[in-house]
């Protein structure tokens, strides 16, 4: 290459500076009103794989044209017109049963809905059997079925009441064990449609928590059976019953034992039920195979850890092989989330992976080729990749590429996959990749025609060494648009902070609101601590019996680093909701020398006030760990409070009760401390509509007044 002459250098520099100066800045309408820009554009939508070599895409051929469906052939890299009808069809006719009003209606493809029930009571959670012959549901806390061909209704249980729940979960099971997507359902069809497993829950000993609602002349109370840390839990029995009715087989567990049951697994042949059992201390997990005829049980897996084990909600601890006997187990027992291959009798066949894997999810199992495809975070804890490994644990290979986060869609046999990938500096791209990891074809790029024309705030993923030198803590920062490291800038940190609930991910995130705050001179930060999941179960274990301690230690280390990069020590804000609200309260009290302003929504303020299963998993009971509960409460640290905290909460929050914020408010009042407080009448653990807009406005106003120290522009009001 020829070197530039001395006479040309000044001219080249002027051209470069001029080119940079010509970059446009986003307008108010573009950042806040959704005015169109071509900075980014939509990617094609993958509708699905037609077969192992062809996939359907929905995409626009021009930004202003409607989307069309195309068939892409991976072998020829050719694209032809396609139709959603080309996707594989289900073997059985599509049947669904839905709730309309309080009754059930059957829908069959091409026919008008047919009413199945007409009762004064409400039917809940209808689920059609795998063979489409029955629908199961609950009514008044009893389990029922209807045979769809003759509309015959069968009541399977008879003792349902306000305290006895058959197939309908008690609150703590819904929230913490089975999961919110179940909508309180606690019954499961066998794969052969011959049996239904269900949980019978007895709430008799569970304390009642009253929730006040303000509507009407006299208001009222909503009473919830809610066990707080140390309280009695619901007692649970596992039953198995045929859909046509008959005797219930009860699994051989003592319902009076202080225990938990996770979501059960049906064996693929439907001939046995696998039940997850855990002790109250949550450090021992046992999986039992239950006999359908007599309820007897035998252990097929057992695990004990020194801290705790997460009780699986059916999301992937056990993956049965379908064609050969055996199952794949996902476990973090060695400090990371690895895969193990087991025989059906519970004997270990061999270990499949060994390494610092986390968020390990099986994507596909090819039993013919004895190969497993799975996604995990290993190369970098802020990114996700696709891997392949053999049943013998050999030939582990990373199939995705580069320093990106990948979201993948595998073809039926794993011959190809589609990846949508990005990082903090690279907008999403869509590519077709072969099973060998080589890119076959780019399918779309979300970088728009005006991407290089605008001056955008810089976002990057960085690491800060923990104070003890053991961990490189991840942070995601969007810098002010005119950032100068010599100047001082206000900081707004958004956190959640719960165990294994990290928020720092290396993927493309772009919004007008983000760019607005950057233009206003705000440093925007997300940060994670050692127990956030980036450092496996080994990092998580620090939180055992000490919630609130290590999160704050690591975050203070990050704030010290931020100060060296221009963060204003007098304008360091932090905000979050739920666990994030809790940690905001802790930051403004125990960490008041480093955090000056806080937005705390739906906050736990003392762990005695939260539910048994979540709290005791990490903290044990208040009786077992009094010092941990004391140190993890906001209240003992109020003497350090000196900044400004805005507390806000829904009055009907049935998850984190308003009681938490009210107790904190009272203590602040008794200490004669200045703070802000807002309630949202009728709000649960979150709220929508005009109240949501109001909450956003008030939080933004708080940031403008206290961090930016100026009036909030009219354009910001919602």
CB 104 within 8 A of CB 91: no
Contacts of 244 (CB under 8 A, 6+ apart): 145, 147, 154
Task: Give residue-wise pLDDT tens across range 317-365.
Answer: 999 999 999 999 999 999 999 999 999 999 999 999 999 999 999 999 9
Looking at the chain, the number of H-run helices and the number of E-run strands are 11, 43
Instruction: Assess if residue 325 is contained within a domain.
Output: no
pLDDT given for residue 316 in this prediction: 79
**Residue of 288, 253, 258, 256 whose CA lies nearest to 274:** 288
Residue 269's nearest CA partner among 136, 130, 369, 364 is: 130
pLDDT, tens only, 276-323: 999 999 999 999 999 999 999 999 999 999 999 999 876 679 999 999
Place of tokens 């996707």: 87
| Rg of the Cα atoms in the chain | 28
| Residue 583 domain boundaries | 455-640
Q: What share of the chain is helix, strand, coil (3-state, %, to 5)?
A: 20, 35, 45
Contact 357, 407 (CB under 8 A): no
- 108: exposed, middle or buried (C-beta count within 10 Å: 0-12, 13-18, 19+)? middle
Q: Considering the domain boundaries, does residue 539 fall inside one?
A: yes
Residue-wise pLDDT for 235-282, tens only, equals 999 999 999 999 999 999 999 999 999 999 999 999 999 999 999 999
54 to each of 50, 57, 373, how far by Cα in Å?
5, 10, 19
* Integer Cα distance of 572 and 560 in angstroms: 11
CA of 129: how far to CAs of 42, 92, 145, 243, 364, in Å? 38, 12, 10, 9, 24
Q: Is residue 609 part of a domain?
A: yes
694 is catalytic: no
Which residues are registered as beta bridge partners of 385? 376
Residue 293 makes CB contacts below 8 A (sequence gap 6+) with 249
Residue among 232, 240, 301, 223 nearest 260 (CA)? 232
What local confidence, expressed as pLDDT, does residue 314 receive?
67
pLDDT tens, 148-171?
Answer: 999 999 999 999 999 999 999 999
List 419, 578, 661, 695, catalytic entry = 578
| 164-166/676-680 β-pairing | unpaired
The answer to whether residue 533 is domain-embedded is yes
Model pLDDT for residues 73-129, shown as the tens digit of each residue: 999 889 999 988 888 876 556 789 999 988 999 998 878 899 999 999 999 999 999
Widest Cα–Cα separation across the chain:
96
Answer yes or no: is 543 within a domain.
yes
User: Considering the domain boundaries, does residue 560 fall inside one?
Assistant: yes
- The number of distinct structural domains making up the chain is 1
pLDDT in tens, 645-702: 999 999 999 999 999 999 999 999 999 999 999 999 999 999 999 999 999 999 999 9
Contact between 409 and 367 under an 8 Å Cβ cutoff? The reply is no
Q: Is the predicted pLDDT of residue 15 greater than 70, yes or no?
A: no
- pLDDT the model gives residue 61: 80
Q: Among 427, 407, 402, 426, which residue's Cα sits nearest to residue 417? A: 407
**CA distances from residue 22 to 12, 35, 448, 453 in whole angstroms, order as listed:** 15, 21, 18, 8
- Dihedral (C-alpha) 472, 477, 483, 489: value to the nearest 10 degrees? -90
Please report which helix (H) or strand (E) contains residue 58, including its range: strand 54-59
CA distance 374 to 641: 47
CATH of the domain at 610: 3.40.50.1820
Contact of 195 with 270, CB cutoff 8 Å? yes
For the segment 25-42, the average pLDDT, to the nearest whole number, is 88
Residues 6+ apart with CB under 8 A from 471: 465, 530, 534, 535, 539, 554
The reported pTM is: 0.93
- The b-or-e profile of 180-207 (16+ CB within 10 A means b, else e) is eebebbbbbbbbebbbbbbbbbbbeebe
Residue 653 annotated among the catalytic residues of the structure = yes
pLDDT of residue 658: 98
Give the distance, in angstroms, between the CA of residue 50 and the centroid of all CA atoms in the same chain: 30
Choose, from 51, 685, 692, 694, the residue flagged as catalytic: 685
Task: For residue 62, indicate whether it is catalytic.
Answer: no
Quick check: is 705 in a domain? no
Question: In the prediction, which pLDDT does 597 show?
Answer: 98
- Mean pLDDT (the chain) is 94
DSSP symbol at 85: G
Average pLDDT (394-422) is 96
Give the whole-angstrom CA distance, residue 557 versus residue 550: 11
Catalytic residue among 653, 657, 661, 695: 653
pLDDT band at 18 (very low <50, low <70, confident <90, very high): very low
- The answer to whether residue 603 sits within a structural domain is yes
Please, what is the Cα angle at 564 between 549 and 500, to 5 degrees?
Answer: 30
């Amino acid at each position: 290459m020829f070197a530039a002459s001395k006479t040309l250098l000044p001219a080249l520099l002027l051209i470069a500076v001029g080119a940079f100066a010509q970059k446009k800045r986003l307008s108010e309408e573009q950042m806040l009103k959704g005015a169109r820009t071509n900075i980014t554009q939509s990617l094609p939508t993958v509708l699905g794989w037609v077969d192992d070599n062809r996939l359907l895409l929905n995409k626009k051929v021009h930004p202003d044209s409607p989307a069309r469906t195309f068939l892409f052939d991976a072998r020829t890299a050719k694209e032809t017109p396609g139709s959603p009808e080309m996707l594989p069809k289900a073997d059985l006719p599509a049947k669904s049963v839905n709730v309309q009003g309080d009754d059930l209606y059957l829908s069959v493809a091409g026919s008008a809905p047919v009413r199945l029930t007409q009762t004064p009571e409400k039917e809940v959670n209808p689920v059609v059997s795998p063979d489409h012959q029955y629908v199961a549901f609950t009514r008044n806390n009893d389990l029922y079925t209807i045979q769809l061909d003759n509309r015959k209704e069968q009541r399977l249980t008879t003792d349902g009441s306000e305290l006895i729940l058959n197939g309908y979960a008690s609150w703590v099971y819904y929230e913490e064990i089975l999961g919110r997507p179940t909508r309180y359902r606690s019954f499961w069809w066998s794969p052969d449609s011959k049996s239904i497993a269900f949980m019978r829950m007895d709430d008799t000993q569970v304390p009642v928590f009253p929730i006040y609602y303000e509507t009407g002349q006299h208001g009222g109370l909503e009473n919830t059976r809610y066990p707080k840390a140390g309280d009695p839990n619901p007692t649970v029995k596992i039953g198995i019953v045929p859909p046509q009715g008959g005797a219930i087989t009860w699994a051989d567990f003592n319902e009076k034992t202080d225990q938990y049951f996770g979501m059960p697994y049906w064996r693929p042949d439907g001939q046995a039920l696998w039940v997850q059992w855990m002790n109250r201390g949550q450090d021992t997990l046992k999986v039992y195979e239950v006999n359908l005829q007599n309820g007897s049980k035998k252990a097929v897996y057992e695990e004990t850890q020194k801290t705790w084990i997460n009780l699986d909600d059916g999301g992937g601890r056990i993956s049965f092989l379908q064609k050969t006997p055996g199952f794949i187990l996902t476990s973090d027992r060695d400090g990371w989330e690895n895969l193990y291959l087991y025989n059906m009798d519970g004997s270990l066949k061999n270990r499949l992976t060994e390494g610092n894997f986390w968020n390990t999810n099986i994507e596909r199992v090819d039993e013919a080729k004895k190969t497993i495809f799975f996604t995990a975070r290993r190369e970098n804890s802020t990114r996700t990749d696709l891997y392949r490994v053999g049943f013998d644990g050999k030939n582990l290979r990373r199939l995705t590429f580069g320093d990106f986060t990948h979201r993948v869609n595998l073809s039926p046999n794993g011959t190809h996959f589609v990846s949508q990938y990005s990082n903090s500096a690279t907008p999403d791209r869509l590519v077709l990749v072969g099973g060998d990891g080589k890119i076959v074809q780019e399918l779309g790029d979300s970088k728009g025609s005006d991407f290089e024309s605008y001056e955008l705030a810089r976002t990057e993923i960085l690491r800060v060494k923990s104070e003890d030198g053991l961990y490189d803590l991840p942070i995601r920062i969007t810098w002010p648009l005119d950032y100068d490291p010599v100047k001082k800038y206000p900081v707004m940190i958004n956190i959640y902070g719960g165990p294994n609930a990290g928020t720092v991910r290396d993927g493309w995130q772009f919004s007008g609101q983000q760019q607005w705050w950057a233009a206003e001179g705000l440093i925007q930060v997300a940060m994670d601590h050692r127990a956030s999941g980036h450092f496996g179960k080994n990092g998580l274990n620090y939180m055992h019996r000490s919630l609130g301690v290590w999160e704050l230690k690591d975050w203070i280390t990050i704030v010290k680093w931020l100060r060296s990069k221009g963060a204003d020590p007098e304008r360091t804000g932090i905000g979050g909701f739920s666990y994030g609200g809790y940690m905001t309260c802790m930051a403004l009290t125990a960490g008041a020398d480093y955090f000056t302003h806080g937005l705390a929504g739906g906050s736990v303020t003392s762990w005695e006030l939260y539910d048994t299963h979540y709290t005791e998993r990490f903290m044990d009971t208040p009786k077992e760990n009094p010092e941990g509960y004391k140190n993890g409460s906001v209240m003992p640290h109020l003497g350090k409070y000196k900044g400004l905290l805005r507390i806000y909460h829904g009055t009907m929050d049935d998850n984190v009760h308003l009681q938490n914020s009210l107790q904190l408010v009272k203590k602040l009042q008794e200490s004669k401390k200045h703070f802000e407080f807002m309630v949202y009448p009728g709000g649960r653990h979150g709220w929508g509509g005009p109240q949501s807009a109001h909450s956003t406005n008030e939080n933004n106003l708080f940031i403008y007044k206290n961090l930016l120290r100026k009036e909030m522009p009219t354009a910001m009001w919602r």
